[in-house]
Amino acid sequence: MRLFSILILIFFSACSTVSITERKQLIILGDDVIYPQAFKAYENFKKKNKLIKEGTDYDNIQEVTENLKKAIRTFYKTHNKPDPTSNFRWEVILIDNKDMKNAWCMPGGKMAVYSGILELANNNNAIAAIMGHEIAHAVARHSSERASQGVLLDFGTMALEQLVLGRSLSGGNRRLYEYFANFGLMLPFSRSHETEADYLGLVFMYIAGYEMEESIKMWERMSKDGSNSQPPEFLSTHPSNRTRIENIKKWIPEVKSNF
């Protein structure tokens, strides 16, 4: 029963709310744990990759990111709400890699854009869509939430083994358990994060003055790009491009009305 009591204590002490979407989330591992690890990994990453430090693409990414940062700060100040980015140590780098079509934002505002994605995000509105989405992951503390969920899953497995089964899972039973944990919990959870980041990203790019409609065109280009092939949605950590486009079309009027 002691393990069960610990789980209950964790659950009630670690509940928080995602700003703007108001979704309830569970955060066990705080910024003081996650950020130092992220910052260290970011510095190591920079040392191992070729960076572009000047030119039009570099300037555009810096400009768009700065506009998004200012818009986010202004939004929370205007609405008298705590700013989730107040303890960020913002930085964005451009990686010289034409083959990689990706961008990301670590906890605490450490960002990277691969030069390959600029073939698809080929204007500042599209860059804002990409960067708004990635920043949204950090604002919503998705990495901390996923790490916390992993801790809870480990505790849950221990509880199942000790309190219910009275023995450790092994062989086929463990594989079956891991299968249902992955497809029934982890993958849908990851897709919900991506969907939330899509919505928040729209909000951020809109209040920064960028055209949300360009995000639809960008995902359409993603869909046509051969390097962006996707598995079936239920097997993926991300929603399908089609689902994303449909969601964005639905959200644009809502964002314009509410923000």
State both tokens at 110.
């450490």
State both tokens at 97.
């890699």
In degrees rounded to 5, what are phi and psi of residue 234? -70, -15
Token pair 């804002």: residue = 128
**134 in catalytic set:** yes
Nearest to 95 by CA among 117, 110, 75, 114: 114
HEC string for 56-74: HHHHHHHHHHHHHHHHHHH
Q: CA dihedral in degrees (172, 178, 181, 184; nearest 10)?
A: -60
* H or E segment and range at residue 244: helix 241-258
Give me the catalytic one of 134, 145, 196, 214: 134
Contact 135, 204 (CB under 8 A): yes
* Sheet containing 110-114: order of strands: 51-52, 91-95, 110-114, 103-105
Catalytic site residues? 134
